[in-house]
Structure formats: structure tokens, C-alpha cells
């Protein structure tokens, strides 16, 4: 059953230097209980997509086009009062800056208990505290550190506390924006297993944003690869990782650092990231693309369907 | 001049305790030993990796070296001089030579400073160059970390940047002074693989050009392997092994290091 359908989403930001086309023509569908991972270069628009889904974009942002249908309702047409019933209770987000989302003047366990009490009318103070304890053991924070203030935590501990906070309200969709960046691989492993467990048990849908392909490969059923505001490749995990077609996806995979084998010689990226103010008409990757020819910079590419579930935005992968 | 193995930084038995869980009566106060008498020595021109799990004391080590935090015991020598308790002018001179790229660019960037002000500030503080010269340095450094076209970014504020862009601002800010010693605390944790490698290559380049020394803090053994000459593994405030990245990955001695190697994602990319 479809939980979320995003169609032709276009989001931009007004700045002193002009209008930044941060997200252009992004479309995808997420079924209940499934997980979708967005990967891509820094600044390619992953957070912007997440914030648009939460309807929490900053003032200088505008959604120029597109639709976001959640549980059959158009979020873009929804009045603020109705949105408030959905945000956090049905769609929760773990922000990229999450480490700093904790209030510095309250103890960490009190903050999470408060979030539970605010969203669950049946919870009591005692039951909320019990839940907090369970959540802390799930994300592996020692119980005797629960009563600390946020500044007493290491970066990783803060991030784990914030993950516990997002799980606290049992939403239907969690958007997790780089939730494990500050964590070492061992803790990351534990958290990802915890996320997967939760997701299956509670049938939560997940949008997982990361720059780390190994992380999304571990957690997500479907993968969207973004580049310069566009979804350049989209498909099942196996399709994208085992048979990638877009040259950027291939570069991303080839740059992945491993513990064995030769130290990679990554694809040399000569060109700079595309300027998103008045981007040129052609393919947004063509300056850096080893396969591009003159035609690539003339017109915008359209999606090539590789399989019914796998598509790519590239002239050369038909 | 690349002389063999001249020591630039030496740390002896560094010890740091934090008090946690403080209550008003002090009854539940607990001590966290963040660093338990660690010793290490870094050579000029070396890229030295400090690898360890979250909460193991990596950032604390960096903050002690740049003197944002006082050790409870132990000694630090920079270029043969005791810097454990330098103050005033000596400290200012030291700060010009030693810079830290902070772990969390959401916290370390001043929200009221435009990018240009943020990146040029160290030059102003240390009174380097005129306006024109400063602008050139800033533009050049921004371009090298991929904040390009630089002029488009000059008047943006941190909240108008993506996570990885903030991280590159933090890197650029430390580079303008051309420091001799750079502590890079997880400098690419928010960057995708292609840009991380670009940044690693920039760091290597700076090392080559200026014979700069790096303390590279990371939880990724693979990144350490790519970039570092030697690494030390830190576990719960203690250094558990030191050696070349390759040796440590091939035959990890400490159980924690073994677990770290074990947990590294076995992600295979398809052959092209
Ligand atoms: N408030 C804002 N004002 C102006 N530009 C913005 C604003 N927020 C983001 N941008 C720009 O929009 C683009 C997309 O940013 P976004 O934060 O969505 O990237 P991202 O994919 O999440 O990157 P990262 O992985 O580095 O976090 C970037 O070029 C960024 O500089
Ligand atoms: N100001 C402080 N007050 C109390 N405890 C602190 C303080 N700063 C750090 N600590 C504690 O010291 C220990 C080491 O923290 P540190 O930030 O050095 O870890 P780290 O290795 O950098 O971890 P991460 O990879 O998560 O950033 C942790 O247990 C942390 O909670
Ligand atoms: Mg982001
Ligand atoms: Mg740290």
C-alpha cells in the first residue's frame, strides 16, 4: 500500500546572488513498511527533500511545483492546523544537525520522556521513563548516563539520544537525515540493526538520507541517487548497487574506501559542482562525466527506463 | 626541508577527567576519565591518525592540544617546548601555528557571520594581509575545498548551507593561516565518498607543499588507511595500539581493534 507519493518536486532558495534550484523534478513512491535511501554528493538536495516532506523549509525557500501525497492527502495543500497533527505524530524527522537538537538545559532522559508524554495521552510519567530506559538500551547509552546534560555526551552519544527521541512517538514514516554520521562502525552497525528491527516490528516506513552508500545499502530496499538537485538514478537496492548505470553512481561506488585490496584510485573529479543558480540547460553532470559528448550539454536528459523499477537520468545509458 | 623524524608534538601521560551527572548536592556526581594517561609522539610532516569509537576521547585529545581544555595531569611538548601551561603572547603565537577543524560544523560556525567573514576572520585576528590580499586567500582556499564559485558563497550564512558545505567552510577556515599543525576532527564525516577523497587529497597536498603535520581524528579505519602514515587506536581513554594502518588492519592486536576491523562494512562495488 502506498504511503507516500512524491511527484515532480521542485524546491529552490532565494539568495542574494539569485535563485538556487536546489531540487528539480524529484519523483518517487514509498510503500508502507518499506525503506528508501537517498545518497548523493554534499549539497545535492537531500535535506531539502526531507524538509519539504516535513513542510519545514526555511522562509527563503519555495516549492515551485510538484505534489506530495501522504496517506492519500496532498501535504502541499494542507492548512497548518492539519499539518501539525501529522508532523511528528505521523512523520518524524531526525535532523542532520540532530546532535544539537537536544536542549542544553534539560537532562537527556527528561527531554525524551517529555516528548513521549506530549504525544501519547495514555502515558504516565513512570511509563514514559520506562520507555526511555528501553530506548536508551536499544541505542546503547549506559543507563547511568541517562541523567546527564547534552554537553556531557560525546558526539556519538548525542546522536544516539536523538534517534531514541524520534522513535519515541511511533510515527508511520521516519525521515532520518544522516543519523549515523558521527558514529563509529561498531555503534553504527548496532544502530542500523536497531532501526531495521523497529522498522519491521512497527511497520514504519523509512526515508534514510546518507552520503555513505554502505549505510543505505545495509538498510534500504530502494535507492535514490541524487546529483545537483536531481534524482539521477532510482531503483531497487540490487539494481542500483549491482548494476549501476549512471556515471555518477558508478563514481560513487568506485570511490568507496575499503580495508582490503588496493587503495582506490578514485575517478578524478576535475570540474566543480554545478552552480545551481541558473544551471545550464543540458545534463547537470556532463562537465564531470567521463562518457559525455557535446550533445549532453545541449538538452536536459529524460529518464531512461532500465527495468520497470529502475530508471536513470542520462543520455548514454539507454 | 624534509628532515628525518623530527618530532613536532609529544604528549606524555595526558590525563583528563570530566565530572558528570552533577546534582546540586553533589551526591550523584560521577567522574568520567576521558583520557587515561596517554602518550604519543608525532613527527613533522606526518599524517597521524587517531582512531576510536564514539566517546573514546578523540576530540578531548584535540581540544587539549589546542588548549581549549586544561589537562588534569601530564605534559605536552610542541617543537621541543613545553606548552602545557603557556599563556598570553606565547599562546597566541602557538594558536597561529596549530589549528583545529572542529568535528561538528553545526556548532562551530558562528551563525551571525557570513562565510566570507568566517573564513577571513583568522587572518584579521592575526593581522595578516590587506583587504585585497585577504580576499584572494579566501577565494583561493574556498575554491580548493570545492566551495565554488567562491563569490556566490561569500555572503551566505551557515544556515543557508548544506551539512557538507558547512564542513568545507570549517576546513577552509583553518587553512587560511597555513598552520604547521592541523588537528582534523572527523573532517569529512558529512561528505560523500568522492568529495571525501578530494578533501583527503587536498590535505595530502598541503602536507607536501608546506610540510604540514596532521592529527587526523576519525572512526573510519578505511579513511585512516587511505590517508595516514601511522595510526593510534584509542579505546576508553587509553591508547591500545600504534603502528602503520596497514599492519593494524592486517593483524589487529587489541580486541577492540579486531571488532573495528570486523564491523567495517563489507560493501563490495561491482566491477566496472
Ligand atoms: N536556507 C538556504 N538558503 C539558501 N540556500 C540553501 C539553503 N539551504 C540549503 N541551500 C542550498 O541548497 C542546496 C541543497 O542543500 P541541502 O541541504 O538539501 O543538501 P544536502 O544534499 O542535504 O547536502 P549535505 O549532504 O551536505 O547535507 C545546497 O546548494 C545549499 O547550499
Ligand atoms: N565537557 C564535558 N563534560 C563531561 N564529560 C565530557 C565532556 N566532554 C567530553 N566528555 C566525556 O568524555 C568522553 C570522551 O569524549 P570525546 O568527545 O573526547 O569522545 P570522542 O572520541 O571524540 O567521541 P565521538 O566520536 O563521539 O566524537 C565521553 O565519555 C564524553 O561524554
Ligand atoms: Mg543535508
Ligand atoms: Mg569527537
- At A91 the pLDDT is 93
Which residue in this structure is represented by grid cell 583553518?
A: B174
Residues 6+ apart with CB under 8 A from A202: A170
Are the Cβ atoms of B193 and A255 closer than 8 angstroms?
yes
List strand residue ranges (DSSP E) for chain B, in order.
Answer: 7-20, 30-43, 47-52, 73-78, 81-82, 98-101, 181-185, 213-218, 230-235, 238-243
ipTM of the complex: 0.75
Question: What is the number of the ligand closest to the CA of B21?
Answer: 2
Quote the CA–CA distance of A188 and B259 in Å, as a whole number.
13
Q: A191 falls in which pLDDT band (50, 70, 90)? A: confident
Disruptive mutation site among B68, B69, B192, B226 for chain A (greatest number of A CBs within 10 Å): B192
Count the alpha carbons within 13 Å of B245 in the hemisphere toward its beta carbon: 23
Q: Does B24 have pLDDT greater than 60?
A: no
- At B1 the pLDDT is 45
Residue closest to A36 by CA, chosen among A232, A204, A160? A204
- At A273 the pLDDT is 63
* E strand or H helix that includes residue A10: strand A2-15
Contact in structure between B99 and B177 (CB atoms under 8 Å): yes
Which residue in this structure is represented by grid cell 582512531?
A: B51
Are the Cβ atoms of A178 and B190 closer than 8 angstroms?
yes
Q: Which cell numbers hold the place of A65?
A: 511545483
- Whole-number Å distance, alpha carbon A283 to ligand 4 midpoint, is 39
Task: Provide the residue count of chain A.
Answer: 318
Smallest CA–CA distance from B18 into chain A, residue: A152
Q: A262 falls in which pLDDT band (50, 70, 90)? A: low
Q: Which cell numbers hold the place of B122?
A: 583568522
Identify the weakest region by mean pLDDT among A209-223, A257-271, B33-47: A257-271
- At B20 the pLDDT is 66
Quote the CA–CA distance of A70 and A59 in Å, as a whole number.
23
Quote the CA–CA distance of A208 and A169 in Å, as a whole number.
18
Comparing B213 with B29, the larger pLDDT belongs to: B213
Q: Does A188 have pLDDT greater than 60?
A: yes
With vertex at residue A192, the alpha carbon angle to CA A71 and CA A132, rounded to the nearest 5 degrees, is 80
Comparing A49 with A181, the larger pLDDT belongs to: A49
Contact in structure between A195 and A176 (CB atoms under 8 Å): yes
Quote the CA–CA distance of A174 and B230 in Å, as a whole number.
40
Residue closest to B193 by CA, chosen among A230, A254, A215, A47? A254
Residues paired with B233 in a beta bridge: B51, B241
Q: Domain A2-79+223-317: give its CATH code.
A: 3.40.50.300
Query: In percent, how much of chain B has pLDDT > 70?
Result: 92
Contact in structure between A99 and A158 (CB atoms under 8 Å): yes
Count the alpha carbons within 13 Å of A157 in the hemisphere toward its beta carbon: 19
Going by the DSSP 8-state scheme, the letter that residue B190 receives in this structure is T
Query: In percent, how much of chain A has pLDDT > 70?
Result: 94
Contact in structure between A100 and B104 (CB atoms under 8 Å): yes
CA distances from B103 to A221, B49, B217 (A): 31, 15, 9
Span A26-41, average pLDDT? 94
Identify the weakest region by mean pLDDT among A63-67, A120-124, A260-264, B89-93: A260-264
What pLDDT digit, counting tens, does each position of A86-121 carry? 888 899 898 877 667 788 889 999 999 988 888 778
What pLDDT digit, counting tens, does each position of B100-143 carry? 999 888 888 999 999 999 999 999 998 999 999 999 999 999 98
Are the Cβ atoms of A42 and B163 closer than 8 angstroms?
yes
Q: Does B230 have pLDDT greater than 50?
A: yes
Neighbours of A125 (CB within 10 A): 11
List strand residue ranges (DSSP E) for B72-199, in order.
Answer: 73-78, 81-82, 98-101, 181-185
- Whole-number Å distance, alpha carbon A22 to ligand 1 midpoint, is 7
What pLDDT digit, counting tens, does each position of A116-163 carry? 888 778 889 999 999 999 888 877 788 889 999 988 887 778 878 888
- At A126 the pLDDT is 94
Cis peptide before A98 (omega within 30 of 0): no
Disruptive mutation site among B193, B229, B248 for chain A (greatest number of A CBs within 10 Å): B193
Ligand 1, atom 24: closest residue by C-alpha: A42
Residues with CB under 5 A from ligand 4 (ion): A 155; B 59, 103
Q: Does A267 have pLDDT greater than 70?
A: no
Q: What is the dihedral of CA B80, B82, B84, B87, to 10 degrees?
A: -120
Quote the CA–CA distance of B82 and B69 in Å, as a whole number.
16
Where do the domains of chain B lie, and which CATH numbers do they carry? 7-267 (3.40.50.300)
End-to-end CA distance of chain A: 30
Ligand 1, atom 8: closest residue by C-alpha: B160
Q: Does B29 have pLDDT greater than 80?
A: no
Q: What share of chain A is helix, strand, coil (3-state, %, to 5)?
A: 35, 25, 35
- At A28 the pLDDT is 97
Quote the CA–CA distance of B238 and B233 in Å, as a whole number.
8
Q: B27 falls in which pLDDT band (50, 70, 90)? A: low
Residues paired with A290 in a beta bridge: none
Q: Does B209 have pLDDT greater than 80?
A: yes
Q: Output b/e per residue, B10-26; b: 16+ Cβ within 10 A.
A: bbeebbbeeebbeeeee
* E strand or H helix that includes residue B259: helix B255-263
Are the Cβ atoms of A272 and B263 closer than 8 angstroms?
no
Residues 6+ apart with CB under 8 A from A140: A160, A187, A190, A191
Comparing A244 with B270, the larger pLDDT belongs to: A244
Report the DSSP pairing between strands B81-82 and B73-78: antiparallel
Q: Is B106 on the interface with A (CB under 8 A)?
A: yes
Pocket test for ligand 1, best of A9, A40, A46 (most atoms within 8 A of CB): A46
Quote the CA–CA distance of B72 and A316 in Å, as a whole number.
62
Is ligand 1 within 6 A of the CB of residue A17?
Answer: no
Count the alpha carbons within 13 Å of A211 in the hemisphere toward its beta carbon: 25
Residues paired with A277 in a beta bridge: A20
Which residue in this structure is represented by grid cell 549512471?
A: A246
Is ligand 2 within 6 A of the CB of residue B32?
Answer: yes
- At B103 the pLDDT is 84
- At B265 the pLDDT is 75
Residues 6+ apart with CB under 8 A from A262: none
Is ligand 1 within 6 A of the CB of residue A34?
Answer: no
Smallest CA–CA distance from A259 into chain B, residue: B222
- Whole-number Å distance, alpha carbon A47 to ligand 3 midpoint, is 4
- At A275 the pLDDT is 77
Q: Is B260 on the interface with A (CB under 8 A)?
A: yes
Comparing A139 with B92, the larger pLDDT belongs to: B92
Q: Is B197 on the interface with A (CB under 8 A)?
A: yes
- At A265 the pLDDT is 58
Most confident listed range (A112-126, A159-173, B65-79):
B65-79
Average pLDDT, rounded, for chain A: 88
Quote the CA–CA distance of B92 and B125 in Å, as a whole number.
10
Quote the CA–CA distance of B71 and B179 in Å, as a whole number.
23
Report the DSSP pairing between strands A173-177 and A205-209: parallel
Span B197-201, average pLDDT? 84
Q: What pTM value is reported for the model? A: 0.85
Contact in structure between B134 and B104 (CB atoms under 8 Å): no
CA distances from A52 to A6, A68, A171, B3, B158 (A): 10, 9, 17, 55, 19
Amino acid at each position: 500500500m502506498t504511503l507516500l507519493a512524491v511527484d515532480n518536486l521542485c524546491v529552490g532558495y532565494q539568495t542574494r546572488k539569485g535563485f538556487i534550484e536546489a531540487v528539480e523534478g524529484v519523483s518517487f513512491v514509498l510503500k508502507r513498511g518499506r525503506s528508501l535511501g537517498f545518497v548523493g554528493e554534499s549539497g545535492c538536495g537531500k535535506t531539502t527533500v526531507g524538509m519539504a516532506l516535513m513542510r519545514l523549509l526555511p522562509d527563503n525557500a519555495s516549492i515551485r511545483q510538484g505534489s506530495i501525497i501522504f496517506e492519500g492527502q496532498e501535504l502541499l495543500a494542507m492548512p497548518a492546523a492539519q499539518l501539525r497533527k501529522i508532523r511528528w505524530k505521523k512523520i518524524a524527522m531526525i535532523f542532520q544537525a540532530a546532535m544539537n537538537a537536544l536542549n542544553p538545559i534539560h537532562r537527556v532522559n527528561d527531554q525524551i520522556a517529555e516528548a513521549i508524554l506530549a504525544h501519547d495521552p495514555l502515558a504516565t510519567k513512570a511509563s514514559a521513563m520506562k520507555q526511555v530506559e528501553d530506548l536508551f538500551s536499544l541505542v546503547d547509552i549506559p543507563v547511568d548516563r541517562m541523567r546527564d546534560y547534552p554537553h556531557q555526551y560525546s558526539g556519538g552519544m548525542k546522536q544516539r539520544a536523538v534517534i531514541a527521541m524520534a522513535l519515541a512517538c511511533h510515527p508511520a514514516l521516519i525521515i532520518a537525515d544522516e543519523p549515523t554520521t558521527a558514529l563509529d562502525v561498531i555503534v553504527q552497525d548496532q544502530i542500523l540493526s536497531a532501526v531495521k528491527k523497529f522498522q519491521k516490528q512497527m511497520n514504519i516506513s523509512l526515508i534514510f538520507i546518507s552520503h555513505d552508500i554502505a549505510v543505505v545499502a545495509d538498510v534500504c530496499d530502494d535507492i535514490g541517487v541524487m546529483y545537483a538537485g536531481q534524482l539521477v538514478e532510482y531503483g531497487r537496492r540490487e539494481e542500483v548497487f549491482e548494476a549501476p548505470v549512471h556515471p555518477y553512481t558508478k563514481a560513487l561506488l568506485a570511490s568507496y574506501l575499503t580495508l582490503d585490496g588496493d587503495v582506490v584510485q578514485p575517478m578524478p573529479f576535475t570540474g566543480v559542482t554545478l552552480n545551481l543558480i541558473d544551471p545550464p540547460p543540458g545534463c547537470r553532470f556532463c562537465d564531470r562525466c567521463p562518457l559525455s559528448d557535446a550533445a549532453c550539454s545541449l538538452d536536459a536528459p529524460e529518464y531512461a527506463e532500465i527495468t520497470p523499477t529502475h530508471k536513470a537520468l542520462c543520455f548514454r545509458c539507454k | 626541508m624534509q628532515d628525518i623524524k623530527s618530532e613536532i608534538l609529544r604528549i606524555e601521560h595526558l590525563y583528563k577527567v570530566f565530572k558528570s551527572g552533577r546534582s546540586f548536592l553533589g551526591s550523584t556526581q560521577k567522574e568520567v576519565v576521558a583520557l587515561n594517561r596517554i602518550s604519543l609522539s608525532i613527527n613533522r610532516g606526518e599524517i597521524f591518525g587517531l582512531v576510536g569509537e564514539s566517546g573514546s576521547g578523540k576530540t578531548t585529545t584535540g581540544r587539549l592540544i589546542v588548549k581549549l581544555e586544561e589537562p588534569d595531569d601530564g605534559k605536552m611538548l610542541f617543537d621541543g617546548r613545553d606548552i602545557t601551561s603557556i599563556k598570553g603572547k606565547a599562546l597566541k603565537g602557538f594558536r597561529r601555528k596549530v589549528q583545529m577543524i572542529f568535528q561538528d560544523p553545526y556548532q562551530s560556525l558562528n551563525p551571525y557571520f557570513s562565510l566570507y567573514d568566517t573564513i577571513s576572520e583568522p587572518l584579521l585576528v592575526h593581522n595578516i594581509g590587506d583587504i585585497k590580499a585577504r580576499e584572494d586567500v579566501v577565494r583561493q582556499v574556498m575554491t580548493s575545498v570545492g566551495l565554488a564559485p567562491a563569490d556566490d558563497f561569500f555572503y551566505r550564512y551557515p544556515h543557508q548551507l548544506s551539512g557538507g558545505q558547512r564542513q568545507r567552510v570549517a576546513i577552509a577556515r583553518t587553512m587560511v593561516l597555513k598552520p604547521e599543525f592541523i588537528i582534523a576532527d572527523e573532517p569529512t564525516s558529512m561528505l560523500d565518498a568522492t568529495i571525501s577523497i578530494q578533501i583527503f587529497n587536498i590535505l595530502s597536498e598541503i602536507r607536501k607543499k608546506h610540510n604540514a603535520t596532521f592529527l587526523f581524528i576519525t572512526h573510519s579505519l578505511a579513511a585512516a588507511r587511505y590517508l595516514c602514515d601511522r595510526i593510534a587506536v584509542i579505546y576508553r581513554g587509553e591508547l591500545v595500539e600504534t603502528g602503520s594502518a596497514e599492519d593494524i588492519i592486517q593483524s589487529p592486536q587489541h580486541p577492540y581493534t579486531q571488532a573495528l576491523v570486523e564491523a567495517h562494512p563489507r560493501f563490495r562495488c561491482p566491477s566496472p
